[in-house]
Amino acid sequence: MDSIIEYSPILIKGTITTIQLTLASAVLALTISFIVGLARFSRHRSVRAAAICYLEFFRGTSAIVQMFFMYYVLPLMGVHFSPLTAGILACGCNLGSYGSEVVRGAIQSVSRGQHEAALALNYTTYQRYRYVLIPQAIPVMIPTFSNLLIELMKLTAVASLITISDLTFMAQIIRVQTALTLEPFLVILVIYFIIATLLVQFTKLVERKFSKGRQVVSDGGR
Amino acid sequence: MASVEKIIEFRDVSKSFGELQVLRNLDLHVNAGEKLALIGPSGSGKTTILRILMTLEDIDTGHVLIDQDYLWHQQVEGKLQPASDKHLHKMRENVGMVFQQFNLFPHLTAIGNIQQPQMLVQGKDKADAQAKGMDLLKMVGLEEKRDHYPHQLSGGQQQRVAIARALALEPKIMLFDEVTSALDPELVDEVLNVLRMLASDTDTTMLTVTHEMNFAREFADRVLFFDKGQIVEAGEPKEIFSRPQEPRTQDFLKKYIAGIA
């Protein structure tokens, strides 16, 4: 165990990289989730079709292969990304496809009566989504987004395969240099678990903020 | 009430949902300021009339006019074409609607529900919208509930807020779609009292679909009895309720009195 402590600086560095990768991918995934999820409600068929293509492509292919594609294949076409950028793009695009389904489902769960009330009050389509449907859909989205965030954090471990020096990558280095196997992996398991716990606490905080004073599902008031 | 200006016209309007025809060649005129009660068995098409006026349902054939302007059509170079979204948006300014299930926005307080449409749709600033909202909440007797969310209010209170919300946009025509049907019996009167007050105090044209016959009798200038997508009988409340001419009307009212309809 002493040698692990000796390597703690690179474990800390790896932890920071994992957190950076997770947060940056999460921001990207969230943005994509809303864009692609809302595009499913577009009145233009081409926009809806593009959203479905995106969803099926990124959900239907392996995240590791997507990452390899961005890091190894795209440079052959003249597009160069740093390992970190490729990792963020792959993780963000992949999780964004799942997230878009969360957004779509949550908005669809808002009752028809809410659509009709907004229309009767002469809201524009934009106002209807911005001020009526999305605010009611967000509390519905949060628990599922919370799960996806954990999934995303765990997915970032794959990024070590494209030479990003995250936690998993650092554990490999320690293993090679010290010939220890149990210790480095046990330590990073614990670190991953701690990060996941912190993320869950964070999403609970967000959930509480959004559900303040609200009842998510209208019961018709009987 | 002296005005005889036609504010609503249905000309030969038909509407089907799949196989089911809900309106058959309907002709209907409503004068500005008139208070109308629409009665009849379920599925007779009375709610569909309100939903067409609110642009929640379109029509299959015929024409609907509001204030001499086509609702579901517009004139383009002298020809009548289906209405654009822009045209519908403009026409909707004339109409407000209160729903059976209230449909208040659950994430906004009572005052927020009344304030937001004024700000978004009419571009009012917050202070104006709030002042108007408080006046309306006072009118429906709920000023002390201004900061309550819908789920903290009873059904009757929610419906009164919903009425205030629709009134805040000052539509010329107000539609009330079975506004007491979802309420517990003891809460019906507080909502009907608001409608009674509106009927006597305002020039707003009001169309009410209702199963409350006693209310229809005192509220309406004219009662329309619907069955199978057509107006079977129309007239002043006392004629319809005391001396119905058509067998179908007599039958319906008899069932109603017996507590079946």
For A36-43, which contacts have Cβ atoms below 8 Å and span 24 or more sequence positions? Answer: A36/A96, A36/A97, A36/A99, A36/A100, A36/A103, A37/A99, A37/A100, A37/A101, A37/A102, A37/A103, A37/A104, A37/A107, A38/A103, A38/A107, A38/A129, A40/A100, A40/A104, A41/A104, A41/A107, A41/A129
Identify which of A121, A216, A218 has the shortest CB distance to residue B169: A121
Q: Tell me: domain A2-211, CATH 1.10.10.10, correct?
A: no
pLDDT band with cut points at 50, 70 and 90 for residue A39: very high
How large is the average pLDDT for residues A18-46? 96
Are A128 and A122 in contact by the 8 Å Cβ rule? The answer is: no
* Mutation site for B-interface testing, chosen from A109, A115, A122, A129 by largest number of B Cβ within 10 Å: A122
Distance (Å, whole) CA A118 – CA A114: 6
Residue-range domain boundaries for chain B: 1-94+174-261, 104-170
- Tens digits of per-residue pLDDT, B155-203? 999 999 999 999 999 999 999 999 999 999 999 999 999 999 999 988 9
* Mutation site for A-interface testing, chosen from B89, B103, B186 by largest number of A Cβ within 10 Å: B103
pLDDT band with cut points at 50, 70 and 90 for residue A1: low
Given a cut of 70, whether residue B4 has pLDDT beyond it is no
- Tens digits of per-residue pLDDT, A59-73? 999 999 999 999 999
CA neighbor of A95 nearest in space, from A41, A13, A158: A158
Chain A: closest CA distance from residue B96 (Å): 6
Are B80 and B73 in contact by the 8 Å Cβ rule? The answer is: yes
Cβ-based burial of A218 (10 A; exposed 0-12, middle 13-18, buried ≥19): buried
Residue type (1 letter), B193: N
Q: Which two tokens stand for residue A194?
A: 């701690």
Q: Do A121 and B149 touch (CB under 8 A)?
A: no
Given a cut of 60, whether residue B98 has pLDDT beyond it is yes
Lowest-confidence range among B118-127, B208-217, B251-260?
B251-260
pTM score of the predicted model: 0.88
Chain B: closest CA distance from residue A145 (Å): 20
Pair type for strands B6-17 and B20-31: antiparallel
ipTM: 0.92
Given a cut of 90, whether residue B145 has pLDDT beyond it is yes
Are B213 and B241 in contact by the 8 Å Cβ rule? The answer is: yes
List the single residue in B with minimal CA-CA distance to A126.
B120
The residue written with tokens 């969230």 in the block is A30
The CATH classification number of B1-94+174-261 equals: 3.40.50.300
Which residues of B lie inside 8 Å of A (Cβ-Cβ)?
54-56, 89, 92-93, 95-97, 99, 101-107, 109, 116-117, 120-121, 149-151, 153-155, 158-159, 165-166, 169, 182-184
Identify which of B96, B149, B150 has the shortest CB distance to residue A120: B96
Chain A: closest CA distance from residue B141 (Å): 18
Identify which of B120, B149, B183 has the shortest CB distance to residue A215: B149
Q: Do A214 and B121 touch (CB under 8 A)?
A: no
